[in-house]
Structure 1
């Protein structure tokens, strides 16, 4: 690809609008000289998911900005595309996709959407966007291959053969970094580094070949893992940008 000065990546946001804005402003992204990848999980859990959703929709498709899908976008998507009943109403059960989403931070997002007064429009627009979001991407800079995905992958398989559940949900590499012995640099979100015993900043493991970017965006000082932060890293220089707590 064209020469870039910074290859930036932002970990999970989870509806923490103020934290997201604080780190994004620090980064001072320049579309002419930088490329930035977002690893998904823009909504749920945090207290202000709607501004984050609106920001992502506004910036999707802009130059040198890549937005990936996370498992929380997938849960949202599945929840609102469930088959309706014969009466035209959504089927709801304890094991439904809607129940799964609401029980994993989606309730906060749903209430935020409802309070806007434009629920149907916002849901439809977000569904349309999520359908376009890729599960992974490969970027080559300075002859180095980088793989980006939300959760996990099999380093021995081409991206085209990866399992969707792996890409969105599993934590195998985060928990067992030694499984990655390839040449590509793999960049993941999804698993808060604090839950793995690290401090709240991006982690370069396996001699820099595995980068973990989820620093517990929605955690607070009352959590045994917190306080959390939203993090951005320049993969070329190793510089880290973080939100204010």
Structure 2
């Protein structure tokens, strides 16, 4: 039986990501890798992470979309001031754009007369197309893999994509389904209620794996079905 390896919330931390794949001895021919989203923002090299993720997908990895990809797409494909500011100013989108070679002047906007900056980058355009086509969840006989969680009283197939990328407490406290839900999005130390950045195994069949690597925590990899955990600390 193939090992399933699950990683989430890489946030531009390309070195940690590559170290973690090595630590887990990932082999595309032997293992099924599943990535739960949030490849971009806040960390140093979103571009390199997306490039790596694209390579891994070609080798058979299953790749999901996170809320940071959702914000990125909205900011870069609409002309909405709110979407731009929400991503660039509040959620680390500036770091993502810097990784594509842009500088502060390139992404500055006039607050009185908003016009989205014109950003010429063939690589960024390719990455946007790649991200737009990503799925929001994977469901197997035993597991649901998703970025943030599921609506407690609905089938995952009936949940809104927005919910799958953004939900928090309602899912953490209210889920009572039969399948084990593996998710990222919310730092595990919040779920543990302590400084523990390791994987969170909830009593209601939920497993949180976001170790808050970009905030000084650790990048986790969960192995299934063994529930073994690999981690790269800061």
TM-score by length of 1: 0.82
1:101 aligns with 2:87: yes
Q: Residue 144 of structure 2 aligns with which residue?
A: 147
Q: Is the contact between residue 188 and residue 199 of structure 2 (CA under 8 Å) also seen in structure 1?
A: yes
Q: Distance in 1 between matches of 2:42 and 2:161?
A: 23
Q: Unaligned 5+ residue runs, structure 2?
A: 104-118
For 1:21-66, what per-residue CA distance to the aligned partner results, in whole angstroms no more than 9, with x for missing partners?
1111111112232111101000100112221111112222322x11
Q: Residue 48 of structure 1 aligns with which residue?
A: 45
Shift of 1:92: 5.5
Q: Residue 85 of structure 1 aligns with which residue?
A: none
Shift of 1:188: 0.8
Q: Residue 13 of structure 1 aligns with which residue?
A: 10
Q: Residue 99 of structure 2 aligns with which residue?
A: 112
Q: Residue 121 of structure 1 aligns with which residue?
A: 122
Q: Unaligned 5+ residue runs, structure 1?
A: 83-90, 221-227
Q: RMSD in angstroms over aligned alpha carbons? A: 1.9
What secondary structure is seen at the aligned counterpart in 1 of 2:72? helix
Alignment of 1:166-185 (within 5 A): 166-173=163-170, 175-176=172-173, 179-185=174-180
Q: Distance in 2 between matches of 1:172 and 1:29?
A: 32
Q: Residue 135 of structure 2 aligns with which residue?
A: 134
Shift of 1:172: 2.5
1:215 aligns with 2:211: yes
Q: Distance in 2 between matches of 1:81 and 1:15?
A: 21
TM-score by length of 2: 0.86
1:60 aligns with 2:49: no
Query: Between Structure 1 and Structure 2, how many residues are aligned?
Result: 216
